[in-house]
Amino acid sequence: MELSLFIIWGAYFIGLYFTLFWLLVFLDKGAQDSPQKVLPNHPLVTVIIPAYNEAESIAKTIESVLHLHYPRDRLQIIAVDHGSTDNTGYLMDAYAPRGVIVLHIQRTSRDRKGVAVNAGLSHARGSFVACLDADSYIEPDALHKMLPHFANPAVAAVVPRMFALGTSTLMKKIQWVEYIVTFLYKKLMAHVDCLHVTPGPFTVYRKSFLNKVGNFDPYNLVEDMDMALRLQRHQLKIIQTHDAIVTTETPTTWIEFYRQRNRWYKGGFYNVLKNKDMLFNSKYGEFGLLQMPMMIGSALLSLTVFTIIYYQQIFQPLYHKLLDWYYTGFPFTLSLTTFLQNLHYLDVNYSRLFFIYFVVVIGLVFIITAFRVGNIRLFSKGIRIPVYYFALYPLLIFIIWCGVVKDLLFGRKQTW
Amino acid sequence: MVRVPINKKRHLIALLLTLSIFVIGFLIGYSLQGERINYIQLIGKEQRLEFDSLQLQSLYVSSLLQEENCAAIGKALERNVDTLEKTRARIESFIKDNKGIEEYDLLKREYTLEQLRYWFLARETKTICKQDALSVLYFYASEDVCDDCRTQGSILTNLKNQFHDKVLVFALDASFLQEPLVALVKESFNVTSLPTIIIENEPFPSFTSQDTLGATFCSLLRTQPEICENYDEV
C-alpha cells in the first residue's frame, strides 16, 4: 500500500515534469521549420524501397516516388524485393522500364529489414539516401522541403511529418490521432537533439554519415531506431520537418497493431540496453539525460501506474461492491437511496481530484496544441475520434507493455 | 556537431512548475482536512447536546413514570444513533484517505466513546420504556486485519435500512486500543474473533449471513415488521 502510493506520486511527478518540460520547449521554439538556405543545385538522391510481401501497396509507393517534383535524372530509385512470397517482386519488375532499379535478394530467417536497405545502399550513387517503407507514400514536394536542411554540415538525417492513412476502423482512428500527437512530440524532441527514431517512411540520410556509422543493422528488430541511436552516439544531427509529408498505412485490426507495437517496444528496449552507456550521460546532452531514461521510464511508468490504478481504483472496488451486493441480495434501490441521502460535499477528496484534473487538462492541452500545429481541426473527423484516443490509448499502451514483458520473460521469438 | 546544450533554466522552470502543482494540490488537501475535522467536531458537539437532552428525558420519564413520552425518546434515540453511525463511517473513510493524521484518531476516540454512551442509554431506555427495539454491538477491524469485516458491515448497513428504528447498530473498532473502554467491553462479551456481532446479549462470533441475522432480529422482536416475511425462522 505505502509502496504503491510512493510509486504513484513518483510517476505523477516524473510524468508532469516531462510534460511541462516539453511544453516549455514548445513555448520557446514553436513547431514550425526554421527557414533554410536553398540548396544551389539538385544533388543526386537515391530512394531505397525495401519490401517484404507488400503487393497491396508497393505500386502506389513506387508511383509516389516517381511523382516527386525532382529532376528525374537526379533521382535514383532502388526497389528491393526481400524474398517476398507474394507477387511484390513481379509488381516491382513492372517499373524497371521506367528506370527503377529492382533487386531481388534471398531472405534468411534471421534477416530483418536492415538487410534489404543495406543491399540497396550498396548500389546507391546519391550523396543523399531516402528510405521509404513499401506501405508509405511520399508527397511530391517533400525533397524540396527536406534537402535544404542538409546545408548544415552536421545534419545526418531529415525526418518528414508522418500521417496515418485512413480512419476506417477504430484502431486506425486511434492511430490517426496518435500520429498527429506524436509529430508534435517529435518536433519538440528534435529541437533539443533528442530524436530517437528515424522512421522507415522517407527519412533522408546523408550517405557519407550512413557509411560512417556502419550502415543499417541487418538483424535489429527496429533498425530505424537503432540507426537514430547510432547517429546520436556519433553526435550527428537529426531534423524533424514540419512541411514535408509522408502518409503511411497503419494496422487495421487490434491484433495487427499489437504485433507492430510489440516489435517496436521490444526492439526499443533491446536498443536502449545495447546503448546503456548513454543513459544519464551528459556527453549526449538532453538525449542522454532526458530521452534515454524516458524510453525505459515510460514503460515502467505505464506498467506500474496502470497496474496500481486499474487494480486499486477499478478492479478491487468493483469486486468488493459485487461481493457485498451478493451477500446482501442485490439491494440496488436501497443502496442507491442511502447513497444519495448520505452524499456530502466533504466526502470528495478534492486534493486527489485536483491532481487528476490537472493531468487531464495538461494532456488535453498537448493534444489540442498538436492538432493546431498540424493545421488540422480537432474534430474534423468527428468528435468521437479524439475521445476514443484519449480514453483508450493509455490502456492500449499498457496492454502492449504487458505483452512485451511477458515475451521478454518467456523469450518469445520475433518475426518481421 | 555541437549538440543543443542542456538548458538548465528550462529544467529549473519545469521543476518549479511541477513543484508548485504539488504544493497547490497538497494545500487543497490540507484545507480539506481542516474542513473535515471542523465538520466532524460540529456534529460531535450536536451529538453531545442531544445525548444530554435524551439522558435527562429518560430520567424524567423514569422518575415521573410518564411512559407516553417513550415513543418520542425512541425516535430521537434512533435518529441520533443513525447520525453517529454515519459519522463514524465518514471518519473511517477519511482515515483511509489520509493515514496517520492524529486529529482523526482523536475524533475516532471521541466517537467510540459516544457510541458506547448511546449504547448504554439505549439499554437503559429500553428497560424504562419497554421498547420493542434491538441494540446490536458490532466489533470490526480494518480490512487488512479482518477479511470479512467489510462484507459484514455492508450486511448490517443493509439490515439497518430494512429494519429502520427496530434495530440500533453500534459499531466498535476492536483494534482501536487507544480507548481502554473498547478492551473492557470486548472482554466482558468475550470477543476473541472478528467480526463479532452481539444482538442484545447473544453473541455471533464469526461472519454471519444476512439471512441468519435477519431471522434472529425477527425472532427477538415482539411485533414483527413487514420485512420479516423475507426471513425464515431460525
pLDDT at B67 exceeding the cut of 80: no
Contact at 8 Å (CB) between A127 and A44?
A: yes
Contact at 8 Å (CB) between A51 and A416?
A: no
> Are the beta carbons of B18 and A355 separated by less than 8 Å?
no
Taking the CA atoms of residue B13, residue B14, residue B15 and residue B20 in that order, the dihedral angle to the nearest 10 degrees is 90
Q: Containing H/E element for A1?
A: none
Question: What is the pLDDT at residue A181?
Answer: 95
Smallest CA–CA distance, residue B5 to chain A, in Å, is: 6
Say how far apart CA A123 and CA A76 lie, in whole Å.
10
- Which pLDDT band holds residue B233 (cuts at 50, 70, 90)? low
Residue, of B13 and A296, whose pLDDT is higher: B13
pLDDT (tens digit per residue) in A283-303: 999 999 999 998 888 888 888
pTM of the model: 0.85
User: Which residue, among B90, B82, B87, B92, has the nearest Cα to B118 in the 3D structure?
Assistant: B82
pLDDT at B125 exceeding the cut of 90: no
Bridge partners (DSSP) of residue A204 are: A130, A158
> Are the beta carbons of B158 and A328 separated by less than 8 Å?
yes
The C-alpha cell 483511509 sits at B96
- Which pLDDT band holds residue A416 (cuts at 50, 70, 90)? very low
pLDDT at B79 exceeding the cut of 80: yes
Give me Rg for the CA atoms of chain B: 24
Contact residues, chain B, for A154 at CB < 8 Å: 1-2
> Are the beta carbons of B154 and A329 separated by less than 8 Å?
no
Contact at 8 Å (CB) between A261 and A393?
A: no
> Are the beta carbons of A17 and B14 separated by less than 8 Å?
yes
Return the residue in B3, B27, B90, B156 with the most chain A beta carbons within 10 A, the one to mutate for interface testing.
B3
Question: What is the pLDDT at residue B17?
Answer: 95
pLDDT at B133 exceeding the cut of 90: no
Considering the domain delimited by B132-234, tell me its CATH architecture: 3-Layer(aba) Sandwich (3.40)
pLDDT at B177 exceeding the cut of 60: yes
> Are the beta carbons of A193 and B39 separated by less than 8 Å?
no
- Which pLDDT band holds residue A88 (cuts at 50, 70, 90)? very high
Average pLDDT, rounded, for chain B: 87
pLDDT at A365 exceeding the cut of 60: yes
**Cβ count near B104 (within 10 Å):** 21
Question: What is the pLDDT at residue A1?
Answer: 58
> Are the beta carbons of B2 and A154 separated by less than 8 Å?
yes
pLDDT (tens digit per residue) in B81-115: 888 888 888 888 888 887 777 888 888 888 899 88
User: Which residue, among B13, B17, B18, B30, has the nearest Cα to A11 in the 3D structure?
Assistant: B18
Say how far apart CA A79 and CA B155 lie, in whole Å.
72
Bridge partners (DSSP) of residue A165 are: A249
Smallest CA–CA distance, residue B41 to chain A, in Å, is: 13
- Sign of the Cα pseudo-torsion (A279, A281, A283, A286, in order): positive
Contact at 8 Å (CB) between A84 and A90?
A: no
Going from the C-alpha of A23 to that of each of A184, B10, B13, the distances in angstroms are: 10, 10, 11
Residue type, A204: V
Contact at 8 Å (CB) between A203 and A138?
A: no
> Are the beta carbons of A289 and B6 separated by less than 8 Å?
yes
Residues sharing a CB contact under 8 Å with residue A260, sequence separation 6 or more, in sequence order: A251
8-state DSSP, B230: G
Question: What is the pLDDT at residue B128?
Answer: 83
The CATH class, in words, for B34-131 is mainly alpha
Average pLDDT, rounded, for chain A: 91
pLDDT (tens digit per residue) in A314-343: 888 899 889 888 888 888 877 788 788 878
CATH 1.20.58 range(s) for chain B read 34-131
Residue, of A413 and B161, whose pLDDT is higher: B161
pLDDT at A5 exceeding the cut of 90: no
Return the residue in B2, B4, B20, B94 with the most chain A beta carbons within 10 A, the one to mutate for interface testing.
B4
pLDDT at B234 exceeding the cut of 60: no
> Are the beta carbons of B3 and A235 separated by less than 8 Å?
yes
- Which pLDDT band holds residue B1 (cuts at 50, 70, 90)? low
CATH 3.40.30.10 range(s) for chain B read 132-234
Bridge partners (DSSP) of residue B135 are: B168
Return the residue in A322, A346, A361 with the most chain B beta carbons within 10 A, the one to mutate for interface testing.
A346
Residue, of A5 and A52, whose pLDDT is higher: A52
Does any CB of chain A come closer than 8 Å to the CB of residue B151? yes
pLDDT (tens digit per residue) in B56-66: 888 887 777 67
Does any CB of chain B come closer than 8 Å to the CB of residue A20? yes
> Are the beta carbons of A20 and B14 separated by less than 8 Å?
yes
Residue, of A344 and A147, whose pLDDT is higher: A147
- Sign of the Cα pseudo-torsion (A295, A298, A302, A308, in order): positive
pLDDT at A248 exceeding the cut of 90: yes
pLDDT at A413 exceeding the cut of 70: no
Question: What is the pLDDT at residue A414?
Answer: 53
In percent, how much of chain A has pLDDT > 90?
68
